[in-house]
């Protein structure tokens, strides 16, 4: 079984999952099917904004793995942060597309510039948790200052914060803050990102998968660079959701439990920290933010 991380909701999350951002319906259905039926994944991470929840749902319905043994995450899109009713309706729409009664984790996809709006959204997210439609709720791309807006606003502290995180952007301050608050951190673009993608301004090539230091470490262990990076996340206590639509890579990315990085490897990788983001900065991302509530 995959290692799991306990969440403050009382549930736990498999530490490795499959991400499906920027995969179209056919790619998604094939990738999720391969992940669940062939590769041994038990955790799928999608979002309303990815446009592929129906494909994820079809693959889950057809998989030989029981629904209860799969951890499913989806996310509330910015444009649906239009007040309580719109948030609840967006969750229902996602559940219906996924063909599920509940998700294991429902995340606010991005913080917005408007703090009051974020608070209203978080109130509605808590209703969703209380109704059982999400076993746990959390956020994505929240910097500590965003977390401070919603922590204490109601009873429920976000179970996770899913942020861009990889050896170039190890997020040490945010991870320390989250750790103190009992919030698990999940890494998106864990391998350094998909080339030519990205909301907002940033859209850069993946340089990590070609990095010489990582290449040396990979060679030393007889593993690929992707596998070394995934180990770095796992050993750092992060939840990691590498995206791939390629069956061999999906299998390769979970074949990481037969080796470990030593202290020297971890120190060498720590030196790759250079604050290089491949995605949008949370403070600049307000795409689709609504002007008014419903």
List Cβ neighbours of 189 (8 Å cut-off, separation of 6 or more). 164, 165, 166, 243, 278, 279
* Ordered alpha helix ranges (H), 39-114: 53-62, 84-98
Residue 277: which of 151, 109, 143 has the closest Cα? 143
Residue 50 appears among annotated catalytic residues? yes
224 binds ligand A2P (CB under 6 A): yes
- Does 162 bind ligand A2P (CB under 6 A)? Our answer is no
Site string for ligand A2P, 25-64 (x = CB under 6 A): ----------------------------------------
- Among 91, 185, 245, 269, indicate the residue that binds ligand A2P (CB under 6 A): 245
Residue 202 engages ligand A2P in binding (rule: CB under 6 A): no
> Stretches 63-71, 106-114, 173-181, 187-195: which one binds ligand A2P (CB under 6 A)?
187-195
From the list 82-90, 120-128, 183-191, 211-219, the region that binds ligand A2P by CB under 6 A is: 183-191
239: Cα separation from own chain's centroid: 8
Shortest distance, CB of residue 15 to ligand A2P, whole angstroms? 15
- Candidates 164, 170, 44, 55; CA nearest to 105 is 44
- The values of phi and psi at residue 139, to 5°, are -140, 170
Handedness of CA 51, 147, 126, 5 (dihedral sign): positive
Q: Which of 14, 17, 19, 167 binds ligand A2P (CB under 6 A)?
A: 19
Task: Read off the tokens for 82.
Answer: 């239009």
Q: Is 12 exposed, middle or buried (0-12, 13-18, 19+ CB in 10 A)?
A: middle
> Binding segment for ligand A2P among 7-15, 32-40, 66-74, 248-256 (CB under 6 A)?
248-256
Structure tokens given for 219: 């060679």
Distance CA 223, CA 93 (A): 41
- Contact region with ligand A2P (CB under 6 A), list: 33-41, 176-184, 239-247, 263-271: 239-247
Q: Closest CB to ligand A2P among 118 and 272?
A: 272
Q: Does 194 bind ligand A2P (CB under 6 A)?
A: yes
* Residue at token pair 């929240």: 142
Contact indicator for 86, 79 with CB cutoff of 8 Å: no
Catalytic residue among 21, 41, 50, 188: 50
Sole window of 92-100, 112-120, 190-198, 256-264 interacting with ligand A2P (rule: CB under 6 A): 190-198
CA distance 177 to 181: 6
Residue 169 beta carbon to ligand A2P: minimum distance, rounded to whole angstroms: 11
The answer to whether 243 contacts ligand A2P (rule: CB under 6 A) is yes
**How far is residue 42's CA from residue 233's CA, in Å, rounded to a whole number?**
18
Under the criterion CB under 6 A, does residue 65 sit at the interface with ligand A2P?
Answer: no
User: Shortest approach of ligand A2P to residue 73 CB, angstroms?
Assistant: 15
One residue of 153, 220, 249, 276 binding ligand A2P per CB under 6 A: 249
**Residues interacting with ligand A2P, by CB under 6 A?**
19, 189-194, 209, 224, 226, 242-246, 249, 252-253
Active centre residues (catalytic): 50
């Amino acid at each position: 079984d995959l290692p799991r991380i306990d969440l403050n909701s009382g549930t736990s999350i498999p530490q490795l999952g499959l991400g499906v951002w920027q995969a179209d319906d056919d790619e998604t259905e094939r990738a999720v099917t391969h992940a669940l039926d062939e590769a041994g994944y038990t955790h799928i991470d999608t979002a309303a904004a990815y446009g592929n929840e129906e494909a994820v749902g079809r693959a889950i319905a057809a998989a030989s793995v029981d629904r209860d043994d799969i951890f499913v995450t989806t996310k509330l899109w910015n444009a649906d942060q239009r007040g309580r009713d719109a948030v609840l309706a967006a969750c229902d729409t996602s559940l219906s597309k996924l063909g599920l009664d509940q998700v294991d984790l429902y995340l606010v996809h991005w913080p917005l510039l408007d703090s009051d709006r974020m608070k209203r959204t978080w109130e509605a997210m808590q209703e969703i948790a209380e109704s059982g439609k999400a076993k746990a709720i959390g956020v994505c791309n929240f910097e500590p200052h965003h977390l401070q807006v919603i922590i204490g606003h109601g009873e429920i502290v976000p179970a996770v914060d899913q942020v861009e995180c990889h050896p170039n952007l190890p997020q040490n301050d945010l991870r320390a803050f989250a750790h103190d608050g009992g919030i698990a951190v999940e890494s998106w673009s864990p391998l350094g990102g998909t080339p030519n993608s990205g909301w907002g301004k940033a859209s850069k090539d993946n340089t990590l998968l070609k990095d010489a230091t990582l290449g040396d470490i990979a060679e030393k262990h007889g593993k690929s660079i992707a596998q070394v990076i995934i180990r770095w996340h796992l050993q750092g206590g992060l939840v990691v959701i590498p995206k791939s639509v390629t069956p061999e890579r999906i299998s390769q990315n979970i074949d990481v439990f037969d080796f470990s990085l030593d202290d020297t490897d971890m120190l060498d990788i720590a030196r790759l920290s250079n604050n290089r983001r491949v995605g949008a900065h949370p403070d600049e991302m307000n795409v689709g933010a609504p002007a008014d509530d419903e």
